[in-house]
Amino acid sequence: MEHFYSLRQCNIFLKYLINNLINLFIRKAHKDLFSSDDYMKKIVAYARLLRIPGIGGLAIPPVIGAITVGLFNFYSLTLVFIIGTLAALYGFILNDFADIEVDKLAKDLHGKPLVSGDISSKTALIICVFFILFSFLLVGALWYGQTIDYLKFGALLSLFIAGILGSIYDFYGKKIVGADFLVAISVALVFLFGALSFGQPTIITWIIFILTFNQILHMNAVEGGIKDADHDPQMGVKNIASTMGVRMQDVKITIPGAFKIFSIGIRLFSAVLLFLPFVLFNYNFYVWQIVILALAIFGVLFFSFKLLSIKIFNRNKIRKYIAIQSFLRYSLVPIMLISIVPSILYSVILIIFPIAWYIVFTPLIGEKLFRPRM
């Protein structure tokens, strides 16, 4: 009883903080909106800052984590999805805040809300603090009336460490070679939060944990390293791409063999992990499932090669290759889970949901499909 009482007290305290923060944010947002005649421009700016089109994919990892331990309750999965959304957006918005000066050097990034000044940096920080408090309040709601055992403590610790590592990456990631590993661990821990919140992790949980780490490492170190090669050197950014020799000369970009091996090595390691449950741990599978999984992996590898083979720096083309890889990547784990989860429907939803969300919301903020503003 004392334990639950203290949990309720924490929830009450968090609600008090959040209510005050909401009032502060509303006053600030109201001032931002009505200090300009172009209200729609402000709404679009907030939608871009909050990565609305990408939420369908960004928030999925902890949901998949929960599913790997047998959770299929819609209410609980919805709360986990929201917590995953808050965790992802906290990292992205804080990164935008930390990278304002760097992003000003890239003409294509001048439309980002904090760079253009459509949203103030103070407002961005208020949103970040609100997301932290609200996420932990939702954790309390998720576990309300349940015993906080060692698994839930581990889940809470995973979420806390994920926030710390993500924050370190946001502020110091461009000064530390290999900082991409920090954000990869951070997102993998958010995935693990979803699993530990509801049960003992399985071998599938740990395989997807490593897959999540691999995908985020590739997205930041490889895709991000190539995408930002035009302006990172101007700010003295230290990252894996520049250390391994990715260089710009006028509009030409050089991607050395070692960096290509690093990229394809991550992709091939992930491909092996995706087949591991069926080859090594004797999970049942459908032949058509394996064929579709192989085709999706081939698609990821194909567009990875396309990205690594560019000779002329073209941000639109780079965005396109990255976006296609991302959506193919989102489908890999759900395809692997088709014969593992109780119903194919869960996998189908996990495959379709991120893409459908993106297609619906992208045009609403004036973006082109598969060419995200990054």
- Residue pLDDT, tens place only, 263-276: 999 999 999 999 99
Beta strands in the chain (DSSP E): 247-249, 252-254
Whether 374 is in a domain gets the answer: no
Q: Is residue 372 part of a domain?
A: no
CA distance 307 to 322: 8
Structure tokens given for 123: 């407002």
Mean pLDDT for the chain overall:
86
* 370 in a structural domain: no
Q: Is the pLDDT of residue 315 over 90?
A: no
Q: Is 128 exposed, middle or buried (0-12, 13-18, 19+ CB in 10 A)?
A: buried
b (16+ CB within 10 A) / e for 56-76: bbbbbbbbbbbbbbebeeeeb
Within-domain flag for 55 = yes
Per-residue model confidence (pLDDT) at position 49? 86
pLDDT in the model for residue 5 = 43
pTM: 0.87
Q: Residue 281 CB: number of other CB atoms within 10 A?
A: 11
State how far the Cα of 26 lies from the Cα of 18, in Å rounded to an integer: 12
193 within domain boundaries? yes
Lowest mean pLDDT among 73-82, 119-128, 148-157, 296-305: 119-128
The three-state secondary structure class of 368 is: strand
Full domain range(s) for residue 72: 2-365
d(CA 48, CA 98): 17
Residues in the chain: 374
Q: Is residue 29 part of a domain?
A: yes
Instruction: Write out pLDDT tens, residues 158-206.
Output: 999 999 999 999 988 888 898 999 999 999 999 999 999 999 999 999 9
Q: What are the structure tokens assigned to 139, written together?
A: 């954790």
| pLDDT for position 8 | 58
Indicate the SS3 state at residue 36: coil
Placement of tokens 């296609």 in the chain? 324
pLDDT at 369: 65
Instruction: Name, in order, each residue with C-beta under 8 angstroms of 282's C-beta and a sequence gap of 6 or more.
Output: none
User: What is the reported pLDDT for 226?
Assistant: 94
Domain count, the chain: 1
> Does residue 373 belong to any structural domain of this protein?
no
Among 331, 190, 345, smallest CA distance to 270 is for 331
Segment of 308-312, 320-324, 369-373 carrying the highest mean pLDDT:
308-312
Q: Is residue 42 part of a domain?
A: yes
